[in-house]
Structure 1
């Protein structure tokens, strides 16, 4: 399985010139924990950065800064930890661990935004693989019993 198959493609995006308040309203309206900052170029979304709910809390709220006075460009994480859609999930997981991030934007070979992979997405995929592995023994027993009758 690769990042392109695993990623959530319906992502929330904003522009670098949007405010922290705009980003917070997007997070609330879409029930997500991150907003990807993009530039629109020739109909393609080119990734610039990411702002998480944690970024908003630590940089804006905890510092008692007016969220309408701070631009997303000032909050977004750069340089980004990015995965290519062809990267395997083991590679994505190692990058997340190495950089201490829970979300990794996914791009195609042209650098266009494809989606985002979260730690929860990886947990779900790995849990499914482990469950499939567990079922091998069950199926083996069923086939053995069937062969004896």
Structure 2
């Protein structure tokens, strides 16, 4: 499974000069937990960071700072992690762990950002794979139960000589095979 198949393709960007209140409004309006921060450059807008809902809560609200007086570019993390959309899940986990982030930008072969991969995306993808494995195990157990029940119902018991209870002699018992 490659990252391009599980990442979120719907991205919302915010200019680095916008206020944190504007950023929070964008997050609410678009129902996203992260914004790609861009800055103007001669060749067009370029990605300079990422700001998350957690950044707003932990770094601004919890410290009692004024969200109108701080620009997104001042808060945005420049500790960016990026992955090729062709990368696999273990590679994504390794990059995110090494960079200490919960989200990574996903790029195409030309280096353009085409999505965001979140920890939730990874967990969801892994959960689906584990559910598939669990389904295989359950179907195997069900098949074994069905086959065992069928054999027990269609087999003729085999005679088996066992010691008789309370006697020194032997008796014949019928045991299914």
Match in the other structure for 1:35 = 35
Match in the other structure for 1:11 = 11
Higher relative contact order, chain-length normalized (CA < 8 Å, sep 6+): 1
**Higher share of residues assigned strand:** 2
Deviations 1:84-106 (CA, angstroms, capped at 9, x unpaired): 11111111112222222211111
TM-score normalised per structure 2: 0.71
Match in the other structure for 1:26 = 26
**Contact (CA 8 Å) 1:38, 1:46: kept in 2 or not?**
yes
Q: Distance in 2 between matches of 1:84 and 1:105?
A: 9
Q: Secondary structure at the match of 1:32?
A: coil
TM-score normalised per structure 1: 0.83
**Cα RMSD (Å):** 2.7
Compared with structure 1, are the counterparts of its residues 8 and 110 closer, same or farther at alpha carbon in structure 2 (3 Å cutoff)? Answer: same
| Structure with max Cα Rg | 2
Give structure 2 stretches of 5+ with no counterpart. Answer: 152-177
**Contact (CA 8 Å) 1:35, 1:52: kept in 2 or not?**
yes
Match in the other structure for 2:175 = none
User: How many residues in Structure 1 have an aligned counterpart in Structure 2?
Assistant: 148
Q: Secondary structure at the match of 1:18?
A: coil
Match in the other structure for 1:123 = 123
Give structure 1 stretches of 5+ with no counterpart. Answer: none
Check if 1:71 corresponds to 2:71: yes
Compared with structure 1, are the counterparts of its residues 42 and 111 closer, same or farther at alpha carbon in structure 2 (3 Å cutoff)? Answer: farther
Q: Distance in 2 between matches of 1:132 and 1:44?
A: 44
Match in the other structure for 1:84 = 84
**Contact (CA 8 Å) 1:45, 1:112: kept in 2 or not?**
no
Compared with structure 1, are the counterparts of its residues 131 and 63 closer, same or farther at alpha carbon in structure 2 (3 Å cutoff)? Answer: closer
Q: Secondary structure at the match of 2:68?
A: helix
Pairwise CA distance, 1:63: 3.4
